[in-house]
Amino acid sequence: MPTAEAAPTPHAHPTPHAHPVPLAALLTREDLGLRQLAGPPDVSLHWVHTSEMADPYPYLLGGELLMTAGVLLTDPARYVERLAEAGAAALGFGLVPVYDTVPAALVEACERHAMPLIEVPPATPFTAVARALWRLMAEARLHELRRVSEAQQSLATAAARPAPVPAVLGALASRLGGRAVLFGPGGTESAAGREIPAEAARALADLAGVVGPRPGGPATASGDGGGLRLTAYALGGGDGLTLGVATEHRASGDHTIAGVAVVLLSLLTAPHRAADATARDTALVRLLLGATPADAAGALQPGPWTVVHARGGDGTPFAAATLGAALGTPLVDAGDEPVRLLLPASAAVTAQPGWTLGVSAPAEPRSLAAADAQAARALRRAKATRAALVRHRTGGFAALIDGDEAAAYARDLLAPLTEPLTETLRTWLSLHGSWDRTAVAQDIHRNTVRQRITRCAALLERDLDDPDVRMELWFALQSTGGETR
């Protein structure tokens, strides 16, 4: 039976999100002159950290290569025990000026706790080790991006073949170096790739039964069986189809590649769509081929439409599709954050667990670009106020500006002014720059008004004869809500 994956480290904090580098890759760098004295060689490094504290445990995230010269090393056994508890990946010990050789007690403790111990020669600065590790991580990241890009192209090519489903399964199995199986709701299977042991096949089928069929069930699940790493993905469309993948190892980028296959298989196995969906897709194709939004709008449902921007989800490749299903629309753009959705204005948009939503006002197809901007502003307000859902508010140009942001800008703009200058400027602007009427309203002499307004212009370094400047200052004074210094 599939089993849940154990946490990679007993440390309370998760391992930093970085592309791991095998310790062996760092040891092969001849320019560094590193030498392993204890512990297993097959560990992965996620981070590098330097510390001379007697107990660095509170400052470790797990997965680090910890670098130290042993300045405060008094109890090697306890020191290594704490590193193991923190989930450190390896210990790098620098020679000179504190120690001429690595203490034997430290070597023994690292061997006992299976903690790789690396001797760093005097001529190698810790920064050189850190720089080398970061370069290796960058190379690993570049390799993963290239691998994912090539896999995407391969899967897309397979989806265009006469028998697309078997072709996509074959391309996925080839790219991951394992087996890909499409499980049907009636127990049917379509598979491609290398054969796997019967035990692994049964475990993969059991894992596929965990996802998809049950309402609210997980969209993906992983485990082990028959010596292989197993993963099951529920396909979209609600037809009970599940993709199962079995590989010897899980490499970086495998989940992303499988996610692309899930999207393609979901589209390829979806039931025949209605005429309005065909018209909608026609409009999208026209846009892709260079038509203007106005020309493509005629192929869309007349509308009105609502645009929704969303941030959040559970981090799985299916989170955006699940959100779209909850809101009742298949029109989901999950390429980059925020997720963007398009749905008929008649559809009810409600708060969704784990998501923050910004909702536009209803708009006709020709005005969807403006609605998209409205949804973006609404989402920013939702994030700022920590609200689950914020709708676009109407009310003129002032309503298009976030109130908190406007007030903060106004305070900075008007900071050089003090009373009575602020109130005199407010009155003068409200009376369209009339010296006499401002003097009467303020109960001061006309020359005093001129002196104060001249002083305002000097402090603000603005030309108060410029109507744009007057308008900006008026909005700023209104945004402060009457606050004065």
Does residue 196 have a pLDDT over 50?
Answer: yes
Could you tell me if 189 and 201 are in contact, meaning their C-beta atoms sit under 8 angstroms apart? no
Identify the burial level of 64 via C-beta atoms within 10 angstroms of its C-beta, where 0-12 means exposed, 13-18 middle and 19 or more buried: buried
Least confident of 14-28, 116-130, 137-151: 14-28
Q: What is the reported pLDDT for 110?
A: 97
Which residue shows structure tokens 């200058």?
421
CA–CA gap between residue 333 and residue 308 (Å, rounded): 10
Q: What is the reported pLDDT for 478?
A: 78
pLDDT in tens, 404-417: 777 788 888 888 88
Q: For the residues 23-27, what does the mean pLDDT come to?
A: 95
Q: Within a 10 A sphere around the Cβ of 412, how many other Cβ atoms?
A: 10
How many residues appear in the chain?
485
Read off the pLDDT band of 68 (50, 70, 90).
very high
Least confident of 16-20, 165-169, 352-356: 16-20
Read off the pLDDT band of 102 (50, 70, 90).
very high
Instruction: Please state the φ and ψ torsions of residue 361, each to the nearest 5 degrees.
Output: -75, 155
E strands within 297-378?
Answer: 305-312, 332-333, 339-344, 355-359
Q: Closest Cα to residue 45, out of 12, 11, 90?
A: 90
Read off the pLDDT band of 175 (50, 70, 90).
very high
Residue type for position 236: G
pTM exceeding the 0.95 threshold for the entire prediction: no
Instruction: Please state the φ and ψ torsions of residue 391, each to the nearest 5 degrees.
Output: -100, 150
CA–CA gap between residue 348 and residue 459 (Å, rounded): 51
Read off the pLDDT band of 11 (50, 70, 90).
very low
Residue type for position 295: D
pLDDT in tens, 327-367: 877 777 876 778 888 888 888 888 888 899 999 988 887 78
194: which 2 tokens? 């290398």
- Most confident of the ranges 29-43, 204-218, 262-276, 368-382: 29-43
Percentage of the chain with pLDDT > 90? 35
Least confident of 54-58, 134-138, 169-173, 469-473: 469-473
Q: What is the reported pLDDT for 6?
A: 37
- Most confident of the ranges 193-197, 279-283, 335-339: 193-197
Q: Which residue has the higher pLDDT, 303 or 373?
A: 373
Does residue 14 have a pLDDT over 70?
Answer: no
The count of C-alpha atoms lying within 13 angstroms of the C-alpha of 397, restricted to the half-sphere facing its C-beta, is 4
Does residue 13 have a pLDDT over 50?
Answer: no
Q: What is the reported pLDDT for 303?
A: 67
DSSP calls for 55-90? --GGG--SSEEEEE--TT-S-HHHHHHHHHHHT--E
7 DSSP 8-state letter = P
456 DSSP 8-state letter = H
Q: What distance lies between CA 220 and its chain's CA centroid?
A: 19
Q: What is the reported pLDDT for 290?
A: 56
Does residue 216 have a pLDDT over 50?
Answer: yes
User: How high does pLDDT run on average in the chain?
Assistant: 83
Q: For the residues 33-50, what does the mean pLDDT come to?
A: 94
Q: Within a 10 A sphere around the Cβ of 133, how many other Cβ atoms?
A: 22
Q: What is the reported pLDDT for 76?
A: 97
CA–CA gap between residue 376 and residue 362 (Å, rounded): 14
Angle at 372 between CA 350 and CA 412, to 5 degrees: 100
Which residue shows structure tokens 């002499």?
445
Which residue shows structure tokens 């996610």?
259
Q: What is the reported pLDDT for 402?
A: 62
ω before 467 within 30° of 0 (cis)? no
